[in-house]
Amino acid sequence: MENLRLIVGLGNPGAKYARTRHNVGFQLVERLAEQWRAAWAVEKKFQSAMARLERSGSVILLCRPQTFMNASGEAVSAVAGFYRVPAGRMLVAVDDADLPLGEIRLRERGSSGGHHGLDSIEQHLGTRDFARLRIGIGRTADGRREITDYVLTPFSAAETPLVDRVLGRAAAQIECWLEAGIGKAMSQFNGVVKDSA
C-alpha cells in the first residue's frame, strides 16, 4: 500500500521500564496514539503493540515492539514485511545518550551510533535507509561510556517538565514529516527544545 507509514517507538516492555530514559521512544508513540485517538492492541504475530489510523492522506501504523530493545528488529521486520512498508516510509524514535536532554535530531538515514535497538533493526531489514528520530537523554554527570544502569532509570521530577515539552515537539516533528516530508521536518524541528523559565 503506497500511502502506508510505519512509526516505531523503541523501548522495553513491562511496567518497571515504563518511564525510564531508554523508553522515551515508547513514550513518544504513546503520545501520538493519544493525540490521534488511536487504540493499542497486542499483535502476537508481530511481537508488538500496534495502533492503526488514517491521517494526512496516509494509513499510519504505530508500533511498540515487545521483544525488548536489543531484539527490536525481529518485531519491526515482521511488521514491515507483512504490510510491505519500504524503509523510506518508516520512522524509528529512539533514545540517544550522546544528545543532551532537551535535544531532538531527525535524520533520513544513518548509522546506529551503537544503539542496540537500531543495530537490530538494521540487521533484520538489511538497510540503514529509514528515518530515525533521536531523542536526547544525556549522560551521567561523570560522562562514562558504560551507561546501562543510567538509561534504565526514570527521569527525575525536575526533568519531567522538559521531557514533556520534548515529546510535544517530537510529536509535532512527526506530524510535519507526514504532511510535508523529512526535509522540512528536519529544518523546522531539529535542535534544542527550550527549557521554560
- What's the pLDDT at 197? 44
For the stretch 88-100, pLDDT in tens is: 999 999 999 889 9
Nearest to 118, CA basis, from 65, 62, 61, 70: 70
- What's the pLDDT at 138? 85
- What's the pLDDT at 151? 84
For the stretch 110-132, pLDDT in tens is: 888 889 899 999 999 999 999 99
Residue 13, SS3 per DSSP: coil
Q: How far apart are CA 101 and CA 62, in angstroms?
A: 24
List the catalytic residue out of 22, 115, 116, 124. Answer: 22
- What's the pLDDT at 113? 83
Number of Cβ within 10 Å of residue 153's Cβ equals 14
Low-confidence residues of the chain: pLDDT under 70: 1-2, 140-148, 195-197
- What's the pLDDT at 196? 60
Q: Is the pTM of this model over 0.85?
A: yes
- What's the pLDDT at 119? 95
- What's the pLDDT at 42? 96
- What's the pLDDT at 140? 63
The answer to whether 178 and 5 are in contact (CB under 8 A) is yes
Q: How far apart are CA 117 and CA 129, in angstroms?
A: 15
Residue 146, SS3 per DSSP: coil
Active site residue 22: yes
Domain ranges of the chain: 4-192
Architecture per CATH, 4-192: 3-Layer(aba) Sandwich (3.40)
- What's the pLDDT at 109? 93
- What's the pLDDT at 194? 79
Helices (H), 36-159: 72-83, 116-125, 148-151
Nearest to 127, CA basis, from 112, 115, 141, 139: 112
